Every structure is written in C-alpha cells, then in structure tokens.
Amino acid sequence: MPILRADAKELAGNRHADIQQLMHLMPGALSSAKAASTMKRYCPSWGYFKQWCAGHDLSFLPAAPLTVALYLLMLTQKANSFSTIKMASAAIAAFHSFASQPEVTTAPIVNAIREHAKRKLPDGVNKKEPLPWEKVEEVCKLLAERPASSGRLRNLSLAAAISLGFCGFLRYDDLSRLTVEQITVSPDLESLEIQLGTRKNSPYRSGGDITVTAVNGFADPVQLVAILIRHAGLVDGSRPLFSAVTRCQGREVYGSTPISYGCLRVAMLEVFLEVGLPKEKFGTHSMRSGGATLAANSGVPDRLWMEHGGWKSFRSAVGYVKTSKKAKASITKAMFRGT
C-alpha cells in the first residue's frame, strides 16, 4: 500500500518506537479503509496500470492526467464493456488517495476519455428484473402443491427462501448467513424478527433488525419459516436456516452447512421458469429488488424501505427500484388534479 513518499522518507529515520510501530500498521489500516471485496477488485487493476506505466517509462504515482487518459484510451480499444474502464479509474483514484496524491481521475481530459468509453462500449452490467409479488405467490403455491415424492422439505425450504428474501429485501449473502438463533417467530405467527449480524451493502458491515409480518396466502414468510424450522428439525440455534437437502435411504436430510449460491440459484431459476419468468432476466437478486420495488411503488417512505434493506445511499437504493406504470401515470394525474 503506497504512502506519501516524502513523508515516509522523513519519518524513516525517526527513532521513536511508537512512530515506527504506527508506520508499520499504516498499510493495513489504509487497506481496511475500503471493504476487503473492494480492495480485491482494485489491486489487479492497479497492478495492470503500474505495469503499463513501467513499460512505457511513465510515472504511476503520482500519475499525470494525460498518462491516465492514455491508459484508459488504450483499455477502451481492448475492453468488452465499460465496467473495465470504471474499475481501472476507481482503482487509480483509490491508490492516489491512499498516497495523499492529488485526485487525477477527475481531470477534464480523463473525464472526456471516460465519456468516450461510455459511449463506445456496452455497459457490461446485467441487472436482473425485480420479481413481482404475484409471481412469488404463484411459485410458493406451485411448490406447496407438488407431490411429496418431489421433495417436500426441499420445496418448503425454497419457498421460504424466496418469500423471506422478497419481504426482507435479502440477497443470497444474507440468506446464507442466517442461523436459527437469529430468527424469532412471534407466538401468534403474526411476525418474525431477523437479527442480521452483518450486511454486505452496509459501509461498515453493520447489521440490524428486520421485522417481517405475516401475509395471506401460500407465500406467507412467517408461516413458511416456522414450518421449515419445525419440519427440518432445526433445534440447534447455530444451524443455518437454509441448507441443501439430500436423500438418505429414501428420506430427506437437511444439511448442516449453508446452501451454496449455485444450488440456490439453480433451484430458483428452475421454478421461476415454470411460472413464465425467463432465467435471462431474473436471478437471486430479483427477490431483493422485487421487495424494494413493491415497497417504493406502494408509497412506503424512502427512509423506511431503505433502512429495511440496509441501504445508506439513496443513489444505491433507487437502482433496485423499477417504477410501476401506475406510479408513472400518477404524475400527470397529480399535475391536472382539480382542473
């Protein structure tokens, strides 16, 4: 991790042990200023930039705006999507910030090359469609009415994951981390509370409590979770709520490890297809975006549905919401109300 070279050189001869210890801790502290997953993506991009600069006798830290612009232009000629340029630009900006160097990626020439790349290359983001609640109900009804031979426990677990994922605005990462001890179902089965330890989208990985209330019909998340806990024999609070189901001597056995992303995704896409949802347009994130879309279009205040989903940034949150036709039509109606 780069540190401002002049400062580092000045402090290198400092004989105070506490200063030297703090200098030793500095790289790790700077790295943790960004999420580990973010740094994992930034480091390769930064490495490629350093290698390119070294091969062309150019300074990479600090890098001149023209150097960055030329590098991004080179990437534009080779990249398949704009996301490559975005990642390279973000990595260069981050490592310059760590080294207390001037922000180079906001220079006009760099902005111009980014805009050129954005116009020339496809976006590269395959954002999935929000899952409609009507389809959640249809899926849960379909799974409930399947014969026992198809795997009653497997169908119950899948229905619970889809319904809870929708109503709780949960992604796979959230569902896979849930343990039985984090779930509290009310005695009257009117609600359940989820105590999330961490959330992927929280800037500081903080968790929070989520309350999900019962709804009518086959897709009631409270009933589904309560029945799943009972039928799967999840008496040990440390057991994952969602796990793979296998067969042993003709009987279904609930796993002791969290269900894998691939296993959940395949099962979801199969049942989505059965209710007419193409797998190219829907995925595991469709539950989270579907719940957020329904809440936003139903008039739930932004602060509440954003808190429910763990969003801190409105810009990030609205990316999950698809405005309904009814909501769009209300704009003109409101403009001419009373005329």
Q: Global pTM? A: 0.72
**Predicted local distance difference test score (pLDDT) of residue 30:** 66
Three-state secondary structure string covering 265-295: HHHHHHHHHHCCCCCCCCCCHHHHHHHHHHH
Cα first-last separation, the chain: 64
CATH topology of domain 133-323: hpI Integrase; Chain A (1.10.443)
Residue 34 has pLDDT above 80, yes or no: no
Q: List beta partners, residue 88.
A: none
133-323 shares the fold of 34-120: no
Q: How far is CA 21 from CA 3, 32, 157, 219, 226, in A?
A: 15, 17, 51, 56, 52
User: What average pLDDT does this structure show over 320-336?
Assistant: 84
Residue 83 has pLDDT above 70, yes or no: yes
Q: For 125-144, how does the pLDDT look when each residue is reduced to its tens digit (9 = 90+)?
A: 667 899 999 999 999 999 99
Q: Are 83 and 127 in contact (CB under 8 A)?
A: no
CATH superfamily of 34-120: Tyrosine recombinase, N-terminal domain (1.10.150.130)
**Predicted local distance difference test score (pLDDT) of residue 196:** 84
Q: Are 219 and 143 in contact (CB under 8 A)?
A: no
- The per-residue pLDDT of the chain, averaged, comes to 87
Q: How far is CA 153 from CA 150, 169, 244, 334, in A?
A: 9, 23, 10, 49
Selection from 297, 326, 299, 295 nearest residue 311 by Cα: 295
Neighbours of 117 (CB within 10 A): 22
User: What average pLDDT does this structure show over 47-56?
Assistant: 94
Residue 2 has pLDDT above 90, yes or no: no
Domain positions in the chain are: 34-120, 133-323
**Predicted local distance difference test score (pLDDT) of residue 204:** 42
